Structure 1
């Protein structure tokens, strides 16, 4: 079996599960076989996620803020989340 290239993959809206639903994703991939060049190299073993750790949202950011975090490469959303969590913690203590 050949690996799918990006052009062969299903469009996001035609996925066989809702990618925003952690339980649906876990159900779909539970027991999946991982192969490389036609040879089985492992099986999916992670269990279902108990609850969503993060919530997908859409927010508007200033271009300079977005550019700053994206310039750091992969993990920019996590870094932005860390800054916001720190802000919340600092301001909850003051209130």
Structure 2
């Protein structure tokens, strides 16, 4: 392949060099290939052990537009705050203990 020209910026030159190394590996057959069985054996999603022990359940909840707007306007973490508010409400009625 050709040398990067002076017209390329550093990032473009680094990308070009990386692409050229990759092409060289393919040409030398120095690339790790996965078999169909290996690909089929892969699991989708997060790797095992990367999730918390206590997980939350995704639900579809229909809220009034003004309520939703106010919650979202409160900033990041509004879903956690609404969960905490619902938990506090259930504690007051004695329907949940912790």
Task: Give the TM-score band, short-chain normalised.
Answer: 0.3 to 0.5
Using the size of structure 1 for normalisation, the TM-score is 0.47
Instruction: Specify which structure has the higher proportion of helix.
Output: 2
Q: Higher strand fraction: Structure 1 or Structure 2?
A: 1
The structure whose RCO (Cα within 8 Å, separation 6+) is larger is: 1
Q: Rg larger in 1 or in 2?
A: 2
